[in-house]
Amino acid sequence: METTLRGVGVSHGVAIGEVRHMGTAVLEPPAKQIPPEDAEREQGRARKAVEAVAADLMARGNLAGGEAQAVLEAQAMMAQDPELMADVERRIAVGSTAERAVYDAFAAYRELLAGAGEYLAGRVADLDDVRNRIVARLLGVPMPGVPDSDEPYVLVARDLAPADTALLDPTLVLGFVTEEGGPTSHSAILARALGVPAVVALPGAGELAEGTVVAVDGSTGDVFVEPSAQKRAELEAAAAERKAALAASTGPGATADGHKVPLLANVGGPSDVPAAVEAGAEGVGLFRTEFLFLDDSKQAPSEEKQVAAYRQVLEAFPEGRVVVRVLDAGADKPLDFLTPADEPNPALGVRGLRTLLDHPDVLRTQLTALAKAAEGLPVYLEVMAPMVADRADAKAFADACREAGLRAKFGAMVEIPSAALRARSILQEVEFLSLGTNDLAQYTFAADRQVGAVSRLQDPWQPALLDLVALSAEAAKAEGKSCGVCGEAASDPLLACVLTGLGVTSLSMGSASIPYVRATLAKYTLAQCERAAAAARATDSADEARCAAQAVLSGE
């Protein structure tokens, strides 16, 4: 009998297939004691297992490239955390086996993170995956992970670790469903990059029986269990219609009446550029530069290394716009040489621009490298700072750009509510704004973007978030400047229309989403988008906002 479950759709498309569950997690090792003379040998085993897992994660990252590489390199750093390793060795010294010491040390680490404000506790899937891989290696059992199957299937899991998501084979994994996670979790972002339909935060996903046929609609968040022939036909027809619309939609982003809305790509490094070009991106709206700094958490990359990497991306978009975000270190992206290790709540501490202003040499080197990378190229370079809180922050960044001789537009990211509320003040110092809706939602609602239990508050359709977007766009218009969106909100085609109606001047997203957004925008006029935006803001919940916008655009 057909039943319908509702989660959060995070990656467009429809997948119909049999359920296959993620491999069983590693069991808890027995708590047996070892004689003192075995301690050194066990410590050696633990160190070798940690290094092997870290190397495997790095190798997976190199294979995957782009967004996935940065995530997996961060996970490898987690495995090699010196304090965590020291705790493992201490536990072995008092009689624990290597596997039990690892298991207990990670448990203690999780408690420590929760006590530090729970920001990093949202990385539970990442942390558990590292632990499971180390323990599995020590026990000599198969790694937990994606099931082996010769036939295509829908993958179901409590959550997906980045190491698994990054290397999913789209020819076998038709789509995936998770019980945990949120719209801006690592798995959701990587699913969009892969173009695999996905639904997260689905209550009871783990109870779906192996082999059950499900239909996953990654656009609506609906999962149909044992769908009828009629429902299958409806979904397949909708998918075919969507595919035809995508194929017919080409060229620059614009509404039906010709209002231009440049569609840009979010890239995490040079390896993401080919997909962006293929999708018809009109430039880059968010070039994340952390990938260079995660290669070696002990020191910043040289100016020469940075110049070479930046130039690769700039050269790919002649006459196009490339917006570079300077290093966003801190919180969930700690770097040993930059970020303090003992902050009580890293999310609310020294992060982003605050970190760079504390280390002006690192900022100066990056800005100088960007200036050199752009020399002689016909690209429109723009550089923005993350986590700008007020006008003083914006001025400090603009001053640093000028001192480095950077011939580019300087901008500020709006990720903190204060920046949206005082956007006009900030625009006295910089030339554009870029809304990072992932963090803006997180800070507006005090809801960690990695915690599935608060996913409704991470929904970019929340009217309060739309209000902050509108404030920023109105301030930019009043100052004759631009205001783009580079958060995951831009990848939702319906929401892209609403953002356009709010006055946003460009949209940047994962490359796989560009065709969907382009095709949807082309169906509606600017006036329709404005009416949809007003209707969405007049509601009191994300679901109501989505329905109100849909009703306006469908002519109901």
Is there a contact between 414 and 482 (Cβ–Cβ < 8 Å)? no
The pairs formed by 151-156 with CB atoms below 8 angstroms and a separation of 24 or more are: 151/18, 152/17, 153/17, 153/18, 153/19, 153/20, 154/15, 154/16, 154/17, 154/18, 154/19, 154/20, 154/214, 154/216, 155/20, 155/21, 155/22, 156/19, 156/20, 156/21, 156/22, 156/205, 156/206, 156/208
The single residue of 186, 359, 401, 497 carrying the catalytic annotation is 186
Using alpha carbons, list the distances in angstroms from residue 525 to 258, 350, 552.
Answer: 8, 43, 12
The single residue of 12, 359, 401, 486 carrying the catalytic annotation is 486
CA 157 to chain centre: 19
Phi and psi at residue 435, to the nearest 5°: -85, 115
Give strand ranges (E) for 226-282: 263-267
Residue 3's SS3 state is strand
In terms of C-beta density within 10 A (0-12 exposed, 13-18 middle, 19 or more buried), how is residue 496 classed? buried
Question: Is 483 among the residues known to form the active site?
Answer: no
Sheet order of strands, 213-217 included: 3-6, 222-225, 213-217, 14-21, 153-157, 173-178, 198-200, 8-11
Give strand ranges (E) for 72-195: 153-157, 173-178
**Residues 2-19 as b or e (16 or more Cβ within 10 Å = b):** eeebebbbbbbbbbbbbb
Please give the DSSP secondary-structure letter assigned to residue 8: E
For the CA atoms of 62, 306, 130, 85, what is the dihedral angle to 10 degrees?
130
What residue has token string 């916008």?
Answer: 549
Please give the DSSP secondary-structure letter assigned to residue 504: -
How many of the other CB atoms lie within 10 Å of CB of 169? 11
How many of the other CB atoms lie within 10 Å of CB of 248? 9
Question: Is 486 among the residues known to form the active site?
Answer: yes
Is there a contact between 20 and 157 (Cβ–Cβ < 8 Å)? no
Rounded Cα–Cα distance for residues 337 and 300 (Å): 8
The pairs formed by 532-537 with CB atoms below 8 angstroms and a separation of 24 or more are: 532/497, 532/498, 532/501, 533/466, 533/470, 533/498, 533/499, 533/500, 533/501, 533/502, 534/501, 536/461, 536/463, 536/466, 536/498, 537/463, 537/466, 537/467, 537/470
Q: Residue 72 carries which side chain, given as an amino acid letter?
A: L
Rounded Cα–Cα distance for residues 394 and 416 (Å): 13
Give catalytic residue positions. 186, 486
